[in-house]
Structure 1
Amino acid sequence: MGQIIGIDLGTCYSAVASIDETGRPQIVRNGQGQNITASCVDTGTSPITVGEDPYREWGLNPTVAARFKLQMGSTKPFHPEKGDPQFKPSQGSYTPTDLSSIVLSHLKNFTEKNGRNISEAVVTVPANWGNEAREATMSAAKQAGLPVKVIINEPTAAALYYAFKEGLENGNYAVFDLGGGTFDISIVKISGTDVEVLGSSGIQRLGGDDFDKALRHKIREKCKNEHGTEIPEDSDEVTKLEAEGVKKTLSNREEASAKVGRLRIVVTRQEFESLIADKLAQLKMLCEGVMDDLNLKPADLAAPILVGGSTRIPCVRNLVQKVFKKDPIATANVDEVVALGAAIYAARHADKKNLTPLQAEAISKVKIVERTGKFLGTFSMRRNENRGGDRELVNSIIIRKGEKLPAKGSRSFFTAWEGQT
């Protein structure tokens, strides 16, 4: 039988998990023995390389691309966003879908080297993504040769892992998923191994990478103010890796040092928390917003669940505790639980002939109820009587946000002009 896998295709890091012979999810390590793989591509090597080596070159070598997940759904060649290192491929051009397919192909290759061919696969996506980005993810998976039938929202996959593996008490949980580039908050109802999504919210461009950018700016500022050395914003003297190292150190210590040339720049945890205060305020607002939408209070929740590498940051954990008024639940592998849950979901949707008896028994009671994360509809034209009957385009909602999936709806429309084609 082939392998059944789940893939967390992350902005900064990706992970793969498989279902073992007994039906339990386990992380698949890459060729370097690591549990997670940098979502970074160097188009200038032959063959193209993916992972930690390109990541070390990001910002130093223009043939390296990263953070392309944030532009999934765009059919234009990938162009980095403001503040990110430039990307100039050695030849041709690459769309975000192309680059994602290269990462997925790399994950597929080392997974199959570790075992059998892949028979079933699921790839995760942010809960707040629209249809274009979801379809682009499916397209990238197909380009990579992965047998993907369905996708699953990242916080839902994490909730499924906790329900399946951790044996949580029945109740409502807030899945707080903060990774490198995106944020999702989902309220889920867990009953045994049943997971029902009650509501979700999120933002596409908020995560650990934004914290790194803020630190790079602060380090350049300190170079100027404390040492009289001005470093241009596009300079590679303050690298992404240096800033990320400072951030990680500040999760365990009150201060951290960055080396910039011969200079030693010290950043305190208090300074870092001030730098990202506006981002923390956004997180708080989104959490409170989804609770208000569902008419829930913190007392209605069993606990918040932490997902994503950026939830290791102390001020993020403190924020979660203050918003939900309960200590958060977290495993040591907060950046692996999405892939683990996706593997369970892949087994749940697998062809029964691809399951061993123990696998089939393990996932037989798993049930997931998803909901739409956005209002779905189409543009239509109507007359605005307040403007003399002028026609205007409006968004005609067909399926409302929060409807259980699968969902369907219909509305009747007619042409604006007689004989219109």
Structure 2
Amino acid sequence: MENTINYGIDLGTTNSAIAKFVKGEVIIFSNPQKMGTRTLPSIVGYKKDKILVGEQARVFAEKEPENVKSVFKRKMGTSESFPVKSLNQSKTPIELSTEILKELKTFVNTSDNLDAVVITIPASFDTVQSIATKRSRYTSWICSSGFTTRTNCSKLSLRQYEERKEMQNGQWLVYDLGGGTFGGINQNQRWRNECFRPRG
């Protein structure tokens, strides 16, 4: 394993994605399920003994919505589970998130050694929710990972531009307008608002 982690995963409420940092550039991997897209709908479906993830699960939801689950990340770290009729059992947010991570791994070329990633989490996640996210990483066969909030990750990416004159003066706000939460960070403080839900 390399000493640096070049892969990053945005495990989102509505959509997820995986990217790699290569020679100063961020490469977002394409979704093999749907050409021209680089995100994966965070949706999991169960068709008899087959697991459907992403776009396939979205389409399947039109036929059997009782067997398709979404927006489960909001319940990460809780005891709440999601009943699946076809299985006659319930799935936890960790189990559902694991399927998303497994599918994201298929975006990456098999010749690449995807054994270490950084997974971004909402700024509103507490310790219990962060640990739950880490557990989903274990069961998806990702050997090692780090965690950071999306807004912190975006702020770090600005460092490559810090020598520019326009970046040296003034206040800068980086925000994450996600499908489940809205968060922001500036030079002096970080704030979070779990109640502000984006619409439209």
Q: TM-score, normalised by structure 2?
A: 0.84
Measured in 1, the distance between the counterparts of 2:98 and 2:58 equals 17
1:173 aligns with 2:172: yes
Residue identity (%)? 27
SS at match of 2:124: coil
**Given that residues 161 and 167 in structure 2 are in contact (C-alpha distance below 8 angstroms), is that contact kept between their aligned partners in structure 1?**
no
SS at match of 2:19: strand
1:206 deviates by: 3.7
Aligned to 2:184: 185
Measured in 1, the distance between the counterparts of 2:56 and 2:179 equals 18
**Given that residues 84 and 91 in structure 2 are in contact (C-alpha distance below 8 angstroms), is that contact kept between their aligned partners in structure 1?**
no
Pick closer, same or farther for the CA change 1:169–1:53 going to 2, 3 Å.
same
In the alignment, structure 2 segments of 5+ residues that lack a partner are none
Measured in 2, the distance between the counterparts of 1:165 and 1:49 equals 41
**Given that residues 94 and 132 in structure 2 are in contact (C-alpha distance below 8 angstroms), is that contact kept between their aligned partners in structure 1?**
yes
Per-residue Cα deviation, 1:139-181 (whole angstroms, up to 9, x for no partner) = 1111111133320111111222233369661243112211111
Per-residue Cα deviation, 1:219-263 (whole angstroms, up to 9, x for no partner) = xxxxxxxxxxxxxxxxxxxxxxxxxxxx4xxxxxxxxxxxxxxxx
Aligned to 2:97: 100
**Given that residues 182 and 207 in structure 1 are in contact (C-alpha distance below 8 angstroms), is that contact kept between their aligned partners in structure 2?**
yes
Aligned to 2:190: 200
Measured in 2, the distance between the counterparts of 1:207 and 1:155 equals 16
Measured in 2, the distance between the counterparts of 1:16 and 1:183 equals 20
1:99 deviates by: 0.4
Aligned to 2:120: 124
Alignment partner of 1:75 out of 79, 83, 91: 79
Measured in 1, the distance between the counterparts of 2:54 and 2:128 equals 26
Q: TM-score, normalised by structure 1?
A: 0.42
1:111 aligns with 2:108: yes
Aligned to 2:6: 4
**Given that residues 37 and 51 in structure 1 are in contact (C-alpha distance below 8 angstroms), is that contact kept between their aligned partners in structure 2?**
yes
1:30 deviates by: 1.5
- Written as runs of structure 1 = structure 2, the 5 A alignment for 1:17-166 is 17-20=19-22, 22-31=23-32, 32-33=34-35, 34-44=37-47, 46-58=49-61, 61-78=65-82, 88-91=84-87, 92-113=89-110, 115-164=111-160
1:116 deviates by: 1.1
Asked which structure has the greater CA Rg, the reply is 1
Pick closer, same or farther for the CA change 1:203–1:59 going to 2, 3 Å.
farther
> When you count strand as a share of all residues, which structure comes out higher?
2
Measured in 2, the distance between the counterparts of 1:75 and 1:11 equals 18
Pick closer, same or farther for the CA change 1:6–1:45 going to 2, 3 Å.
farther
- Return 142-151 or 52-61, whichever deviates more: 52-61
**Given that residues 64 and 89 in structure 1 are in contact (C-alpha distance below 8 angstroms), is that contact kept between their aligned partners in structure 2?**
no
**Given that residues 123 and 148 in structure 1 are in contact (C-alpha distance below 8 angstroms), is that contact kept between their aligned partners in structure 2?**
no
**Given that residues 4 and 118 in structure 1 are in contact (C-alpha distance below 8 angstroms), is that contact kept between their aligned partners in structure 2?**
no
Q: Counterpart of 1:62 in structure 2: which amino acid? A: E
> When you count helix as a share of all residues, which structure comes out higher?
1
**Given that residues 30 and 111 in structure 1 are in contact (C-alpha distance below 8 angstroms), is that contact kept between their aligned partners in structure 2?**
no
Pick closer, same or farther for the CA change 1:205–1:96 going to 2, 3 Å.
farther
